[in-house]
Structure 1
Amino acid sequence: MNCRRRQSHAGFTLLELLISITLLGFILVLLFGGLRLGIRSWDTVQQRVDNLNTVRAVESFLRREMEMTYPYRWKGTPEQRMAFLGERNKVSFVAQLPSRIGTGGLYLASLELERSSKGRRLVWRYMPVTGQLHDFSVLDQAQEMVLAGTELGTVDDIWLSYLGPEGEKGQLRWADRWESTTRLPSLIRIQVKFSNGVEWPDFVVAPKLSSEFVR
């Protein structure tokens, strides 16, 4: 009799095994669900960090280049027009580049958000200023150089606007286009929009040189 009682407690019953396996399955499901939630949260945070880094790179690049805008006037043109053309998503200007870029000196430059099948990227084109140049059309054939090395796949659009007087002595106002033949804008505002609809707070660039110091 004692032998039979010991044998009955020697292992698990089938019901006990089924209950243990079921509980283990529930625990694994909960653990897997928590892991997936953690991965999704991490991906969301990482995406926000990537967007932040992208905008910081864009802001740093634009600020550095636009601050070097130089009040150059085209030679051999009526009234020696100011060499600056501001559009909604493109700006063309003359900049005083440091010697570490090429040979330094005055260069025609343009900044544009270019769209293609591969995504969006910030394109910078430049070429040395010569006395034979009368507009920015030559930049279309200039070699492309990406100083920032930034592929803007997460940026959907960039808006550029320009602060200056309306007319020669009018009140200051923001405009999506700058075509003044006599002066540079006082400020250049840049707005960035991501592909997911999020808009980054505006940032403003002030050219270091004013129109009074004309070459």
Structure 2
Amino acid sequence: MIIKTCQLLSEYTQRHRFVNKAEHKIKQAGFTLLEVLIGMSLMSIMMLLLFASLRLCVQNWNAGEKKIAQVSEAAIIQNFLQNKLHAAVPLDGDFLEEPQFSFQGSKDELQFVAAMPASAARLGLQLFKMSLIPAARDEQGRQLQIEMQPFFPLGDSEQWDVEPVVILRKIQSLQFAYFGPDSDSRRSDSSWQSDWQEREGLPGLVSIDIELINGETWPQL
């Protein structure tokens, strides 16, 4: 009887140890509710930081693309103005309704004659007129407009439609300046002047200062 009782106690003890070990392993393998909540919170913070980083990258990318587009537009306009002004030729417009020298300039308007490249639709000498005009109602600042037409008169069967083209918008200020001798002075000294009217020759240099609405200042041409 005693031996049987001891055997029963021994079996009970072994079973109890086995159950305790199994429960201990289960506790070690699982997570408590607090641990799960902490893990979810950390994961949420990491996802938030990730999306914030992606948003910042997208904003920087868009800003970079916008800046590249602005620089490209500025370079195209600057190259156009430099090339055409460099190719300006001195001519007398005796055949015009108001005879005058081909090059005329003020602080906000400029007129000159230059040749178009062979690849252009319009060949020969062209009369360019650049002027600063008010912007449309839904836009700010002013606009730089350019007109182009053949300098020499065409035949009755040939007509060119003069279509003004706006090449730059949102201008805060624009000023042309001309370097050469003063028309009212007998001295040969040259200086910068705000107009070039009723002259018989081209100025030595032409300067264009442009400032946009957003505060961007173009390099002086």
TM-score by length of 1: 0.72
The 3 A distance-change label for structure 1 pair 3 and 89 is same
Higher-Rg structure is 2
Letter in 2 for 1:116: A
The 3 A distance-change label for structure 1 pair 171 and 151 is closer
Quick one: distance in 1 between partners of 2:125 and 2:148? 10
Quick one: distance in 1 between partners of 2:71 and 2:170? 10
Aligned to 2:199: 181
Which runs of no fewer than 5 residues in structure 1 stay unpaired?
Answer: 133-140, 204-215
Q: CA deviation at 1:8?
A: 2.6
The structure, 1 or 2, with the larger RCO (C-alpha pairs under 8 Å, 6+ apart) is 1
The 3 A distance-change label for structure 1 pair 64 and 6 is same
Q: CA deviation at 1:179?
A: 0.6
Residues paired across the two proteins, number: 190
Letter in 2 for 1:166: D
Quick one: distance in 2 between partners of 1:142 and 1:92? 18
Which runs of no fewer than 5 residues in structure 2 stay unpaired?
Answer: 1-19, 155-159
Give 1:96-175 correspondences, 5 Å limit: 96-114=115-133, 115-117=135-137, 122-130=144-152, 142-144=161-163, 152-153=168-169, 156-167=172-183, 169-175=187-193
Specify which of 80, 102, 109 is matched with residue 61 of structure 1. 80
Between Structure 1 and Structure 2, the one with more helix by share is 2
Q: CA deviation at 1:126?
A: 1.9
Aligned to 1:20: 39
SS in structure 1 of the partner of residue 209 of structure 2: strand
Q: CA deviation at 1:175?
A: 1.9
Letter in 2 for 1:123: Q
SS in structure 1 of the partner of residue 207 of structure 2: strand
Quick one: distance in 1 between partners of 2:120 and 2:86? 16
> Structure 1 residues 61-70 or 47-56, which shifts more?
47-56
Q: Deviations over 1:44-99 (max 9, x none)?
A: 3333322221221111110122222121112168xx64122212232112223344
Q: Answer yes or no: is the 8 Å Cα contact 1:121–1:152 preserved in 2.
A: yes
Pair 1:30 & 2:49 matched: yes
> Structure 1 residues 61-70 or 17-26, which shifts more?
61-70
Q: Answer yes or no: is the 8 Å Cα contact 2:179–2:191 preserved in 1.
A: yes
Q: Answer yes or no: is the 8 Å Cα contact 2:144–2:169 preserved in 1.
A: no
Q: CA RMSD in A?
A: 3.0
> Structure 1 residues 19-28 or 91-100, which shifts more?
91-100
Letter in 1 for 2:136: S
Q: Deviations over 1:147-194 (max 9, x none)?
A: xxx853565443221111112534211122211332221111122223
Q: Answer yes or no: is the 8 Å Cα contact 1:95–1:106 preserved in 2.
A: yes
Q: Deviations over 1:124-149 (max 9, x none)?
A: 322223469xxxxxxxx952265xxx
Aligned to 2:89: 70
